[in-house]
Amino acid sequence: MTSSVLPVDEIITNNPIYKRALTLANHGKSAPYERLEFLGDRVLGLILADMLYHHFPAENEGDWAMRFTLLAQEKTLAEIAKQIGLPKRLITQDNALRQNSSILADVCEAVIAALYLDQGLEKARQFVQTWWTPLLNRSHETIKDAKSALQEWAQKHQQMPQYTVINRIGPDHAPLFTIEAKIEGFGETQAVGPSKKEAEQNAAKQLLTQLTGE
């Protein structure tokens, strides 16, 4: 698809639900897309989970969770929103909002919900697979290597990273861990994740960014 073609035009029909998905808040009122965003988040989550299950059968749920986190995060959603031309499609009087990553991510989910309601799950799946499949392998690399990279940095400074569980909340089937990553004399940070492994990776990534500025 070339930049002169608006990819989202290929899925939008005359159904007014797409207008709701693309309309931002006005004068302090709730944005029309917010209810659709809620649904779209769940539809996207189901499709991504199914993709990970079938693309990486040898991995465990912890590995899938790390991949899922990056595939469903705001940055990824905002990037895809720009690729499919959503900024031009937003219905708003504030043009600055067209580049707001949080809004773009939310509207991207709202469009997925609209597509699901208008044309069914398989059409929504086709859309998600088209835009997310190229990210499947790339999605894991940064977070997967964070602890190794942090350890290499620490060893160069005659230190070793320390990881401490600060908190654990939620039921056994859906826990949320808070982990502190620390290098004595250099810095510390905290991050959360649905497993200790993922929380450690998230904390390592944050601390590495803090230490190196990268």
| Catalytic residue flag (residue 180) | no
The active-site residue, picked from 9, 10, 34, 41, is 41
Cα-Cα end-to-end distance for the chain? 32
The active-site residue, picked from 37, 106, 109, 180, is 109
CB contact at 8 A, 85 and 6: yes
Distances (CA, A) of 212 to 27, 95, 153, 202: 42, 35, 9, 15
User: How far is residue 194's CA from residue 214's CA, in Å, rounded to a whole number?
Assistant: 25
| Catalytic residue flag (residue 41) | yes
User: How far is residue 77's CA from residue 70's CA, in Å, rounded to a whole number?
Assistant: 10
Q: How many CB atoms neighbour CB 178 within 10 A? A: 18
Catalytically annotated residues: 41, 109
